């Protein structure tokens, strides 16, 4: 499973990228607004911090507007992935951009039927929002499982990018189902390494080592 960071905080991205565990980044208008920085400037900086895809979202809602914005965004860097909403205009834009060799992330997916449409439009990634799906009384992981089944049935190459990840169990369950990618806030990614027994084990080892009075180097 690929790990993307869902943030526009370049300090967090740089820190996670240094671990070698980060495969890409997703942003959206809300995250850009939270950063308080210029959209193009921060996107360019993020693209320089990671080798993998960096999703930059259009804000136009019509096909012509999306194409105009995508033309600007994909000039920022070679690893920009254009993010479009799962609407008919978004799917039309997806088809046009992928036909030109541009990576596209179709976002705000909440049903398997929508994911099927994204795959037929040639999306590089489809982003089902599991956390928001859970919030509305549905099972986000059941949605991921349904999409995985449908994509495998037809050998679609579109990658399932699990989004709106709220906690480490979302990552665990998505990995068991076979999702291709997950994108999560940096805090969730860092939480994956945590376990009380690991902490206790280190504490015990350090206490025993101190008793030896030795040092390494």
**Residues with a known catalytic role:** 83
Please state, in angstroms and as integers, the Cα–Cα distance from residue 182 to each residue in 165, 166, 179, 191, 208, following that order.
8, 11, 7, 14, 39
Cα–Cα distance, 186 to 16 (Å, whole number): 8
Using N-to-C axis directions, what is the helix angle for 112-120 and 140-154, rounded to 10°?
40
Inter-residue contact 131 to 166 (CB < 8 Å): yes
The answer to whether residues 119 and 151 touch, using CB atoms and an 8 Å cutoff, is yes
Cβ-contact 124, 98 below 8 angstroms: yes
Contact 70, 40 (CB under 8 A): no
Which are the contacts of 162, defined by CB distance < 8 A and separation ≥ 6? 127, 128, 130, 144, 170, 171, 174, 179, 181, 182, 183
In the chain, DSSP assigns E strands to 2-6, 24-26, 54-57, 80-85, 104-109, 125-128, 159-162, 181-184
């Amino acid at each position: 499973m690929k790990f993307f960071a869902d943030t526009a905080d370049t300090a967090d991205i740089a820190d996670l990228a240094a671990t070698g565990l980060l495969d890409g980044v997703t942003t959206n208008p809300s995250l850009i607004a939270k950063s308080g920085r210029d959209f193009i400037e921060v996107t360019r900086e993020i693209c320089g911090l990671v080798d993998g895809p960096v999703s930059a979202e259009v804000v136009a809602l019509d096909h012509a507007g999306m194409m105009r914005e995508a033309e600007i965004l994909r000039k920022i860097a070679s690893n920009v992935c254009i993010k479009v909403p799962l609407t008919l205009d978004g799917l039309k834009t997806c088809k046009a951009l992928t036909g030109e060799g541009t990576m596209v992330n179709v976002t705000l997916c909440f049903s398997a039927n929508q994911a099927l449409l994204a795959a037929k439009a040639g999306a590089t990634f489809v982003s089902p929002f599991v956390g928001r799906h859970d919030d509305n009384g549905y099972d986000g992981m059941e949605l991921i499982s349904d999409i995985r089944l449908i994509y495998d049935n037809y050998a679609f190459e579109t990658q399932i990018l699990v989004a709106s990840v709220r906690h480490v169990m979302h990552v665990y369950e998505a990995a068991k189902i076979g999702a291709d990618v997950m994108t999560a806030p940096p805090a969730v990614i860092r939480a994956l390494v945590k376990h009380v027994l690991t902490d206790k084990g280190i504490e015990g080892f350090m206490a025993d080592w101190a008793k030896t009075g030795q040092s390494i180097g």
